[in-house]
Each structure stands twice: as structure tokens, then as C-alpha cells.
Structure 1
Amino acid sequence: MPPIPEPVLKLANGQRGLVARRQLGAARVTKSSVLAQLTAGRWMERSSVVVSTFTGELTREQRAWLGVLHAGPPAIVGGYTALEIHGLKNWHRDDVTILVDDEEHLDPLDGIDWFRTRRPLDLWHSKKHELPMARVEPAALVCAAYEPSWRTAQGLLAAVVQQRLTTPADLREQMERMKPLCRAPQFRVLLTDFEGGAQSVAEVDVKRMCLDYGLPLPNRQKRRKDRAGKWRYTDCEWDLPDGRVLVLEIDGAFHMEVEHWEDDIQRQRGLTTPGRIIVRGTAREVRDEPFQLAADLRALGLGALCA
């Protein structure tokens, strides 16, 4: 059995052990040599056009390589998959999303979702990774534009900003280069809220609640030092007429986990003072029952600020 050329092994290693048959052909590795490796059980066929130089289960990153190699240029990893690789937390999706040219006709592959688009994929490439992958901004905007739930779309854009993967300005700039884009008018309003200091969809909902029920807009992400001397940021604050401060902390779904819940309880105790009232609500309440939350805030003195 002829040895596999070193450049081919180096190429496969850079692609996490996967290589397309077209790449092998370009490196003058014959079909008979490939067949010999497969027959000997050293290599494994992963699709009609991709083999691996190892056997066994694929990791998530290897499955992403499988997708882009199977489709060929200009295919890139996109969607929630790209965002997760960029570092987005708490938005995992099982299937790997591969963005492909609209003219491609690809056989289905287990665990891979082909997303067809006429967009210029070669202009979306991230330069930070070996894996052909979309940058954060186009990946997030395409996800949000085609996400069935508007609520989820808002939450995704808030998350990429809150987790510092991008900025509202960079999202806005990318959006203008992607005309036409579904939901673009709504995205512009949302990005304006983020630029104004909102860090989450819940904070956007608080602003809407205040406008709808005649409450003053809060100070957001106020920097406070707790009794242990550690700097903290509160979600929303109002200065009351009697000199006290009313603080509203919004709990998302992840706050329901025991570890986060205990951390938040300790954080609240450390920030509470005789002149600072801290109340908590959930993101669901702000979204679905703003009238009740507004009434509770008024009862604590906030209504006195409204003429």
C-alpha cells in the first residue's frame, strides 16, 4: 500500500481529520489508494465526497468540517453553530448549520442543516478560525431574520451584544450591507435600545412597560459597590422622592437554576441598604404581566414621580 503524502496528512490534520475526495485528487492520491485505506479500516467514508483519516464518532467541530467539505466552496458554517463556536453561551442547537449557495443541491446528512442563500458567503468569512465560518454579525442577523419567534430573535441579538461578541454599531453596519433583510425595521429599533444601554430583551420590555403605564424611565446597569466592596451592576433603578432608591432586578430562565438563584440571593443582600429597596421580577412577568409589575412599583413609591 503506497504511503499517503505528507502534505495530505497535514491538510487532513488541519481539517480535524477530514478531507474531501476532490482535495485528495488534487494532491494526486489515487482512488485505489483511498479505497485501500478504507478497506484496511484506517480511514472511514463520511459522505459521498468526504472521508476521515480516523474511525469512530465525529465531534461537533468535525461534523461542521464534514458539512463545509461535503458542500464545497463557498459553503461556510453559519447559524447558531457559528455563534456557539464564536463563544455564544446558552443558545445551543443540536444540528450543525451550513450556509450554502442557493444553486447547490445536496443530499441530506445526519445532524447537518443546509441553509440555502444567495448572499455573498465569501464576504462573510471569519478570519479568526481555520474552519470556514461566518462572522458573528451576519450569522446572528440571518438567524434572527429567519427565526419563527420574534421573541427569540430579539433575545438572540441581545445575547450576542450582552456577551460581548459584537456591538450594536457593528450589527447595524452589517445589516445595512445585507439589504433587503427580513425584520430590518424592527432590528433598527432594537439596536437603538441596545445603544441606549439595554443589555437584554427584558430591559427593553421594562422600557416599554414604563412608557405604556406612565412610569419614568429607569437608570440601567447602575454601578454599585456591595458591602463586601465588590462592584455590581443593577438592572433598573429609580430615585424616589423621599431619597430612597428603588431597584428592579429581572431574573431570566437561567436564574431558576439553584446555583444562580443562591448567587442572586446573596447579591441582593449585599446591595440592600436602608435607603435602597430591591425587588425582583421575572422576564416573563415583564413581558406578559407588565400591568401587575407597574402597579407594584407604584405601590413602592414610583407613582409619586408621575404627574
Structure 2
Amino acid sequence: MITRAQLAEAGMTRWSVAHRIDSERWQLLSPTVVATTTGELSDDQRIWHAVLHAGYGAMAGGLTAATLAGLKNWHRDVATIFVPYERGRPSPLPGVRFVRVRRSLRAVGSPPRCRIEAAVLLFAAVDRSERTAQGVLAAAVQQQLTSPEGLLEWLDRLTPLRRAATLRRAIEDIEGGAQSLAEMDVKRMCRAFGLADPTRQVKRRDADGRIRFTDCEWRLQDGRTLVLEVDGGFHMEAEHWEDDLARQRALAGTDRIIVRCTSRELRDEPEKIARDLMALGVPAAAA
């Protein structure tokens, strides 16, 4: 990917560029950007095209930048490109959303992108869903791309930021050990209904000797342990569902009660889950 201006600086005339395009050795992607390859563009090439098209100071932002930084399962088909506000809005490109930003952000990587902390926080500030906003912060920490401390530092750097108070509470929950949206929902449910906080991500050895991690555990008064496993949407697929059933059997024991709920129930009907947990003996929170 290269601009016409860069080609001119390298000593190529417009006629030599036009000849390569006409002979289909190169392809003209937009009035200012040329690809010195033919065929379909890769994801990185598409982002380079958009960045070069937007001009000096442009970089990938939002979930596009987060995906480039290694964030998995948050890909979006439309690329987000941050453009310095003073440059104005570039002419449209298919599959690209140009966002003018007043903030001073330094690009990293290739293709150029903003840092993972700025990427997820700026996305979380404007997305319509607060749950999606909190989920992307949890995912970035869970996938070890950043830390709660790093997010809090950038939250202060990006002040003023929409939803800052909500995002700060979410980051503090993550810092307290809730590294997924479901774990954060469990923590909120416990606060709302006066239940003791569970122990999360407990390391267990199953009946086959393999190491497993349970979502949430409570120690009951009779000495037994109650385990709550939270199923996300992907758990509903037949293959994952059967895997989870086998995992539950392997973890079960005479001293361990295993119950399950869905992330949808935690979100929409937390009172029902709290009531069932209390009936099973989950202790109340300490005064």
C-alpha cells in the first residue's frame, strides 16, 4: 500500500504509475492510494489502505485496533479509523468508518493503531450497550492484553470520557478478580441480594486427574461446597453443551453440589438465581 505522493517522493512519475495500473500489475484503490499487488486485499492491507487514504496522523481505533493488538472474538467487519479532528473527514471508503478525534494519541504497531487501553475505553464510551462496553474491558484483561491498573491509568488520561464512572466501577470489579462479564454479573447479584461473594476460578482436579477451573464456589455451613457454573451463548451449541455435561460429571462429588445458570438469566433474572442459591444454603454477606 502506497500513496501517489510517496511514489512521487521515490522518483516515480505519474505516467509510470499509470502504466503499471493500466497493465494491471498494480491496482488503484482510491484517488490517492495504490496497491503494488493484485488480487483481494488482506485484512492488514485494507486497514493500511484506509489509514493512507485518511492521511497523516490516522490510525486504527476502537475494536479494529483492539483486534490488531490480539483481542479475540471481538472482530467487526467495518474497520474503525481514527483521524485527527483538524484534518476533516476523509471521503468515504466501503467497509470503513472514519472517526474524527480531538485527543492526542500516539500510534503503535503496523498497521498503525492506538494502544489497546485507549482502543477498548474509547469503544466502551460510545457503544450503545453498557454490557458490551463492560464485556470488552473484561475480555482485554482476561486475554492478558492489559491490566486493570493500565485501564484505570488510561481512563484518567482520556478524561473527560463518557460513562467514566460506570467504566471505573467495571474495572474495579475486574481488579477484584471478576475477569469475565458473567463473573461481574455474579458479583452484582451478590451485592444486590446480600449474598456472600463467591470464590472465583477455583482450581480443581477432576475424576480423570485433569486440572479444571470452576466459575464460582461457596462453602456451605454443612461443610459441602456449592459450585455455580455460568453458561454463555456458545455453551448452547450441542458440542459445547455435551462437553460441559461431561465436565460437570467429572467435577461432581459427595461433598460438592454443582448448579448451572445461563448468562442471560444472570442478566435478566438475577433474583431467581439468588433465591435458588439461598435455598441451597449459600450464606449471607458478612455485616
Pairing partner for 2:95 from 111, 114, 119: 111
Q: Deviations over 1:48-107 (max 9, x none)?
A: 100111222222211101011111221001111121122222212111111111122311
Question: Residue in 2 aligned with 1:259?
Answer: 239
Please show how residues 239-278 of structure 1 align to structure 2 within 5 Å.
239-278=219-258
CA distance in 1, matches of 2:166, 2:147: 17
Q: Secondary structure of 1:113's match?
A: strand
Give the drift of 1:257. Answer: 2.3
Superposition map of 1:77-156 within 5 A: 77-103=60-86, 104-121=88-105, 123=106, 125-126=107-108, 129-156=109-136
Q: What is the CA-CA distance between 1:289 and the residue it aligns to?
A: 0.4
**Aligned mates of 2:275, 2:286 — CA distance in 1:** 13
Q: Does 1:288 align with 2:268?
A: yes
Counterpart for residue 188 of structure 1: 168
Q: Determine the structure 2 residue equivalent to 1:235.
A: 215
Kept after mapping to 1: 8 A contact 2:194/2:285: no
- 2:137 counterpart SS class: helix
- In structure 2, the partner of 1:213 is 193
Preserved CA contact (<8 Å) 2:195 2:284: no
Is the 1:86–1:136 contact (alpha carbons within 8 Å) kept by the matching residues of 2?
A: yes
Look up the SS of the partner of 2:169 in the other structure.
helix
How far has the Cα of 1:258 moved from its partner?
Answer: 2.6
Alignment partner of 2:207: what SS?
coil
Relative to the length of structure 2, the TM-score reads 0.95
Question: In the aligned structure 2, how far is the partner of 1:237 from the partner of 1:133?
Answer: 40
Once structures 1 and 2 are overlaid, which stretch shifts more, 92-101 or 263-272?
263-272
Distance in 1 between the 2:240 and 2:139 partners? Answer: 18
Q: Which amino acid aligns with 1:100?
A: V
> 1:301 corresponds to which residue?
281
Structure 1 CA distance, aligned partners of 2:151 and 2:67?
Answer: 17
Q: Aligned letter for 1:141?
A: L
Greater than 3 Å deviation, 4+ residue runs:
303-307
Q: Which residue of 2 aligns with 1:11?
A: none
Q: Gaps spanning 5+ residues in structure 2: where?
A: none
What SS is found at the alignment partner of 2:217? strand
For residues 304 and 213 of structure 1, the distance between their equivalents in structure 2, rounded to whole angstroms, comes to 9
Aligned residue number for residue 36 of structure 2: 53
CA distance in structure 1 between the partners assigned to 2:36 and 2:58 by the alignment: 22
| Map of 2:52 onto structure 1 | 69
Match of 1:25 in 2: 8
Distance 2:258 2:6 in 1: 62
Question: TM (normalized to structure 1)?
Answer: 0.89
Question: Which one of 19, 30, 35 corresponds to residue 36 of structure 1?
Answer: 19
**8 Å CA contact 1:241, 1:304 repeated in 2:** no
**Distance in 1 separating the partners of 2:239 and 2:212:** 18
Question: Contact conserved, 2:148 with 2:174, CA < 8 A, in 1?
Answer: yes
Q: How far did 1:44 drift? A: 0.9
State whether residues 76 and 134 of structure 1, in contact with CA within 8 Å, keep that contact through their aligned partners in structure 2.
yes
Q: Deviations over 1:108-136 (max 9, x none)?
A: 00111101101112x2x22xx32111121
Q: CA RMSD in A?
A: 1.6
Q: 1:205 to 1:305 in 2, by over 3 A?
A: closer
Alignment CA distance shift 1:28-1:216 (3 Å): same
Are residues 1:173 and 2:136 paired? no
The count of aligned residue pairs is: 286
Query: Any idea what the Cα deviations from partners look like across 1:214-273, whole Å, max 9, x if unmatched?
Result: 211111111111122222211111000111000001111122223322222222111111
- Hey, what's the Cα distance between the residues in 2 that align with 1:228 and 1:86? 37
Gaps in structure 1 of 5+ consecutive residues = 1-17
